[in-house]
Structure 1
Amino acid sequence: MTGPRLAILLGLLAVSACGGRQERDITLHDMRTNQRSPEEFSILPVKPLQMPETTALPTPTPGGANLTDPTPLEDAVAVLGGKPQRVAGTGVPAADVGMLAHVGRFGTDPNIRADLAAKDLELRKTKSRFTWSIVPRDDYRRAYRSHLLNPYSELSRFRKLGIKTPAAPSEE
């Protein structure tokens, strides 16, 4: 009697494993927590909602600010009687212009973010093929371990080349 039941159970498992083609989960971080309460640091205080002057939708500005986003520095300047628009970050600070010119002296790739995102997606697809486990684990470090730098070996390499390096704590 147990033989037929076992065969039926194995048959059902085999059929369920042959389900439709689904997009594979290629995330490498396991973000699940065992907490049932909300994470208090993920809750941000926002400004109260207000009615805009027009109800027409503005053109999207990727990376732009929202009216309800917190702006603590600008709010503090306004409370102290200053002009908050003067502290709002616009463009590259004057102190960083020289550094950016030096870094970009050999040219820059305007599509670097898209190229890196595509390469990273391919790496995550490759590294996430056999990540199933009974116990939840974070596979991020295992997937990117060939890309990690050992800070102490880099420090030693720079010192051997005669490059001045800052003091660093011991490896222990």
Structure 2
Amino acid sequence: MQRKAMILGGMVCAALALSACDRNKQPQLLNVKSNQEGGPDEFAVLPNKPLTLPDTYAELPEPTRGGVNRTDVTPLEDAVVALGGNPNAGISDGGLVNYASRYGVSPNIRGALATEDLEFRRKNDGRLLERVFNVNVYFKAYRKQSLDQYAELERLRRLGVRTNSAPPEGAE
């Protein structure tokens, strides 16, 4: 009986050791398999036009980096129109950029954030069995950084800030 227990224990240890070998170097907190749940498709918002074939392939222009294509001659303007904007309106975000950068701008912000995020994900990578069974630990890891939307809504309303209506708490 004791021999069977030792063999079983050895097999469990071997299985855990082997399952730990196939880990990414980058910890993943949100383990997303695929978009099978019918979630949002970020490409669905693009106003794609149907593809057309030319009469002869000699009519096709030479490909150039950053150049226009035959189907979407003005893709940025088309996206602005699809989102309800005016493509002829001027872009004047200089004031916003100046206000946002009034305390200084870090030139290496992307690298610094990537380093800090990697360190945070390594610290909050989940327990052993959560990693073995590929359990989603994203929401638990970021719980301290999340915003209680209903408490914030009440706080703003007490301050007299006009807010949009919101569904009642628990109606999600």
Fold shared per TM-score above 0.5: yes
Distance 2:113 2:61 in 1: 40
How many matched pairs?
142
Shift of 1:33: 4.8
Shift of 1:110: 1.7
Shift of 1:16: 5.6
Query: 1:11-66 CA deviation, whole Å, 9 max, x = no partner?
Result: 3443565569766561011222596xxx9x58898x89x99779xxx9xxxxxx69
Q: Is the 8 A contact 1:131 1:139 kept in 2?
A: no
Shift of 1:147: 0.4
Give the match for residue 154 of structure 1. 152
Which letter does structure 2 place at the counterpart of 1:7? Answer: M
Q: TM-score with structure 1 length normalisation?
A: 0.55
Distance 2:137 2:95 in 1: 40
Structure 1, gaps ≥5 residues long: 59-64, 78-86, 88-92
Q: TM-score with structure 2 length normalisation?
A: 0.55
Task: Give the superposed CA RMSD.
Answer: 4.5
Give the match for residue 81 of structure 1. none
Percent identical across equivalent pairs?
A: 25
Shift of 1:136: 5.0
Query: 1:83-141 CA deviation, whole Å, 9 max, x = no partner?
Result: xxxx8xxxxx6321111112212222222222222111111111114163476542211
Distance 2:116 2:28 in 1: 14
Which letter does structure 1 place at the counterpart of 2:31? Answer: D
Aligned counterpart in structure 2 of residue 171 of structure 1, from 156, 162, 168: 168
Q: Residues 131 and 16 (structure 1 numbering): CA distance in 2 closer, same or farther, change over 3 Å?
A: closer
Give the match for residue 84 of structure 1. none
Shift of 1:146: 0.5
Q: Residues 115 and 171 (structure 1 numbering): CA distance in 2 closer, same or farther, change over 3 Å?
A: farther
Distance 1:167 1:66 in 2: 42
Point out 4+ residue stretches in structure 1 off by more than 6 angstroms.
19-22, 42-45, 50-54
